[in-house]
Structure 1
């Protein structure tokens, strides 16, 4: 028998991309045991325990990681069937720009933490990476999944998702900003009698075509006490100095 912490360590190593053999060397657990931990006793890596399918459904754990992954999904994520849709296997796919390798690693770690029995893949695309993981349970964990683009359908959080976001609004906003957000310098030109003067200040922008997702971002910022306003129809801005400094505690520049 192994301690639960050892099992969790082994599954985290697998989620980070290590092989079963390497995870075995680092933990001292034999490979067959790690394989059972990963695949389950039936040998199917698609059938690991799902908190939403349990006899008593409960929230995913860790909740703060789920809040972050939810933000990523609502921004640049999608759920699509794998192979024959009748088998019920789904891929959670989140696109991350090559410019932010730290974000790619954080996204992969979040997927692995929420579905520790499923492998996380990082696939190189043109100018970006696709971080994906296969599971039968992604639609249960992200009930916003549906046909068509997100901005063409209503996006509303389930009660259990709202509880998570209310408890971890900073992590949720971090996920949104890491997907469809931006932190940078805004330059303003002032024409003065003495000549042209430029003024720079940092600000956050979050752009999304879904009014529902924009509203969710605004509600989470309100919970954090971060002042914001609509900059455009499809874009909200955090620009006041104290608001940017507060949001920096939860998000900061992409990396």
Structure 2
């Protein structure tokens, strides 16, 4: 989805290539400065230019080593509860993962994954009501998370780049763990059956992953299938919404590699 049109974007790129400042272009064309920065970054990436030699190195621009396992986990978190933001007060975009305060262990794990993926960038936590935003600032966020774009994730196509697919295929459990830690849960379901005239209650564990994006649910399902976890899709009303893992053997696999939130 292009909110400003191809003509406005091309005019902005022409001005930027002529040396105009991002803020001046944004003011002239009445476009948010974050959008102008994003257009400039994508234009430089397409032309093979690094955003800046003085900046921390990037695995995509400079070939810096990347912690693939940590990245797979962080990618799962990003697809669930993360987004990349641009604020006029900051010249550098930030990746923000919003996580519930009920699970402080996951907040710590999320911040650790950010530090592993961006070892030269500082991370921080911003307290909100009932949650914390786990954040890292980097000019290379769009290099590592090309799924970023205007609008909500479920309103636009979400597909992994070939290099991302290679990482997820090599580290599927880390990717699944990130998805479950963001938009998933482990619960105890129950049912009642009459056995020998007596009504008995049976309880059993179950995993859910809920996301409005058909593409993100498909990525989750593909990863689960790759590690031999059986799953089904449940609908909320008439719309598919949840991925469910309820088979005993599959739940045992999930418990081994994921476990409850903490």
TM-score by length of 1: 0.77
Instruction: Quote the Cα distance in structure 1 between the aligned partners of 2:58 and 2:77.
Output: 20
Instruction: Quote the Cα distance in structure 2 between the aligned partners of 1:93 and 1:180.
Output: 15
CA deviation string 1:155-202 (max 9, x = no partner) = 000000000000000000000000000001011123556243211100
Look up the match of 1:39.
none
Look up the match of 1:78.
83
Instruction: Quote the Cα distance in structure 1 between the aligned partners of 2:115 and 2:75.
Output: 14
Write out aligned runs for 1:36-115 (5 A). Answer: 47-54=55-62, 57=63, 61-83=66-88, 87=91, 89-115=92-118
Instruction: Quote the Cα distance in structure 2 between the aligned partners of 1:254 and 1:53.
Output: 35
Look up the match of 1:247.
254
Q: Describe the SS at the equivalent of 1:227.
A: coil
Instruction: Quote the Cα distance in structure 1 between the aligned partners of 2:142 and 2:89.
Output: 16
Look up the match of 1:184.
187
Consecutive unaligned residues of structure 1, counting only runs of 5 or more, are 1-43
Consecutive unaligned residues of structure 2, counting only runs of 5 or more, are 1-51
Following TM superposition, the consecutive aligned residue runs of length 4 or more in structure 1 with deviations greater than 6 angstroms are: none
CA-based RMSD of the aligned residues comes to: 1.7
Q: Describe the SS at the equivalent of 1:201.
A: strand
Look up the match of 1:212.
215
- TM-aligned CA deviation for residue 83 of structure 1: 2.3
Q: Structure 1 stretch 164-173 or stretch 186-195: which is displaced more?
A: 186-195
Q: Structure 1 stretch 119-128 or stretch 69-78: which is displaced more?
A: 119-128
CA deviation string 1:11-35 (max 9, x = no partner) = xxxxxxxxxxxxxxxxxxxxxxxxx
Q: Structure 1 stretch 237-246 or stretch 187-196: which is displaced more?
A: 187-196
Look up the match of 1:236.
243
Instruction: Quote the Cα distance in structure 2 between the aligned partners of 1:213 and 1:147.
Output: 17
Instruction: Quote the Cα distance in structure 2 between the aligned partners of 1:108 and 1:83.
Output: 24
Higher relative contact order (CA 8 A, sep 6+): 1
Instruction: Quote the Cα distance in structure 2 between the aligned partners of 1:249 and 1:63.
Output: 21
